[in-house]
Structure 1
Amino acid sequence: MPTDRHIVLFDLFGVIARHQRPGALQKMAARCHAPTRTFTEAYWACRPPYDAGRHSASAYWTAVLRTLSLPHDADTIEELRLTDIDSWSRVDDRMVAYVRSLRDVAEVALLSNIPSDHADVFLTAQPWLHELDHVAFSGKIGAAKPDPAAFHHCVTALQAAPADFLFIDDREENVGAARAIGMEGHVFTGREELAAVVDNWLPTGTT
């Protein structure tokens, strides 16, 4: 049974944070002396276990380099790891301000697909994350969207019911997965549209 709680659960990248920095994959591919397309395919093909906390950064980059039939020495792996973290480090300051403002009228949480070592850096660089009611990073909780376990983690952590949540993500498959367990869901396209959706979802008089 739902309660009278209202929890806005945000995705991070593509909503509050920017997508990967343009040119980052080309830069990493050049470091490996590999074609960008081939490198990009290996980068994403090896990513799911890393995002879900089943592979360490070293294991992930070793897998990428082995896929490319390239040497996987520690210095190369560390350089790629740091370049990768930096490429995902940008936030939309207007969205950060909006998310923080919502805490006056609702509980606010975050569920992001992000490796554990990336998450550690992000938490240090973005102190506003510590203001939220709950932060769930896939690499820390051992489940990545659209796995239902990622959403159930948030339900359990906040001692809530799925119907208490409005989930915001820029990917339809993730929003669909949230809806499948009983959450409300919205595919993010912009701050103004989102603000209208949130205002309509919250009880009258709270915004």
Structure 2
Amino acid sequence: MPTDRPIVLFDLFGVIACHQRPGAMAEMAALSGARTEPFAHAYWACRMPYDAGQFTAPQYWTAVLNQLSLTAHPDTIEKLRLTDIHSWSRVDDDMVGYVQSLRERAEVALLSNIPADHADAFLTAQPWLRHLDHVAFSGKIQAAKPDPAAFHHCVTALHATPADFLFIDDRDENVRAARAAGMDGHLFTGREGLTRALDTWLPTPEATPSGNGRKPWPGPLARTWNW
């Protein structure tokens, strides 16, 4: 159950934003000169340090191409980088609206595994992010889920306690990590299930004798961001 200060902490991709655009992996493989299957393996094998801010974009793409025994030409790297950013650029507009509407009932924050250059592009294209109470991009905070440090960052940045949070993600390992950090967690499988979970978890709009005894949400506090 939440405290008197509920904070709903959202994952981005697979919840509010869409997963990678279909066909993008094959497009990037063709740009590199590799077949799609080995390219995809190298793409994901090298990804975590990039997500966690330990690799720059050129370092990441050089590592991918080296794993494929391909030469890392700067022009090729830039084409791959831009194609990759574009492949992760779509959002679910209905979810964006729903997430924004929740700020009438709670603080709303975001914790996303996303490289720093992707984060810059996503923020430019999606200015609604600036209206959330906190945004943490893994490439900027140098910690990627399910690393406990990513969740600790959000707790510290919002001057909260883990019990204040309900974390929402479409990956079970991330939800389990949030729970291990002391947060409540919800595995996202769709809007309907999320709505039921939030209606149960969030404070009631008004305190009533027949209510659950929680205090009404007093309103959002100061906003902070990490980008």
Pairs within 5 Å for 1:66-105: 66-105=66-105
What SS is found at the alignment partner of 1:86? helix
Secondary structure at 1:38's aligned position in 2? helix
Q: Which moved more, 1:192-201 or 1:12-21?
A: 192-201
The structure-2 alpha-carbon separation of the partners of 1:165 and 1:123, relative to structure 1 and needing over 3 Å to count, comes to: same
Does the aligned pair in 2 maintain the 1:5–1:164 contact within 8 Å? Answer: yes
Residue equivalent to 2:117: 117
Q: 1:140-176: CA deviations, max 9, x gaps? A: 0000000000000000000000000000000000000
Tell me which moved more, 134-143 or 3-12: 3-12
Kept in 2, the 8 Å contact 1:3–1:161? The answer is: no
Q: Name the residue aligned to 1:202.
A: 202
Q: How far apart are the structure 2 equivalents of 1:107 and 1:37? A: 42
> What is the TM-score when the length of structure 1 is the normalising length?
0.98
- Aligned pair 1:53/2:19, yes or no? no
Moved more, 57-66 or 2-11: 2-11
Specify the alignment match of 1:167 in structure 2: 167
Give the TM-score taking structure 2 as reference length.
0.89
Give the residue type in structure 2 aligned to 1:142. Q
Distance (Å, rounded) in 2 between the aligned partners of 1:33 and 1:78: 15
Q: Which has the larger radius of gyration?
A: 2
Structure 1 position 204, deviation (Å) = 2.1
Unaligned runs of 5+ in 2: 206-215, 218-227
**Which one-letter code corresponds to 1:57 in the other structure?**
A
User: What's the CA shift for 1:3?
Assistant: 4.6
Rounded to whole Å, the distance in 2 between the matches of 1:76 and 1:31 is 7
Q: 1:62 corresponds to which residue?
A: 62
Q: Distance in 2 between matches of 1:150 and 1:202?
A: 23
Q: Which runs of 4+ in 1 moved over 4 A?
A: none
Which amino acid in structure 2 is aligned with residue 8 of structure 1?
V
For residues 91 and 108 of structure 2, the distance between their equivalents in structure 1, rounded to whole angstroms, comes to 17
Alignment of 1:130-149 (within 5 A): 130-149=130-149
DSSP-derived class of the 1:103 partner: helix
Conserved? CA contact 1:46–1:60, under 8 Å? yes
The residue type paired with residue 192 of structure 1 is E
Shift of 1:4: 1.4
Aligned residues: 206
Distance 1:3 1:143, change over 3 A: same
Instruction: Report percent identity of matched pairs.
Output: 74
Q: What is the identity, as a one-letter code, of the residue corresponding to 1:130?
A: R
Contact 1:10 1:111 in 2 (8 A): yes
Q: What does the per-residue CA deviation read over 1:35-81, in whole Å, with 9 as the maximum and x for residues that have no partner? A: 10000000000001000000000000000000000010100000000
In 1, Cα distance between equivalents of 2:11 and 2:32 = 31
Report the RMSD for the aligned CA atoms in angstroms.
Answer: 1.1
Match of 1:29 in 2: 29
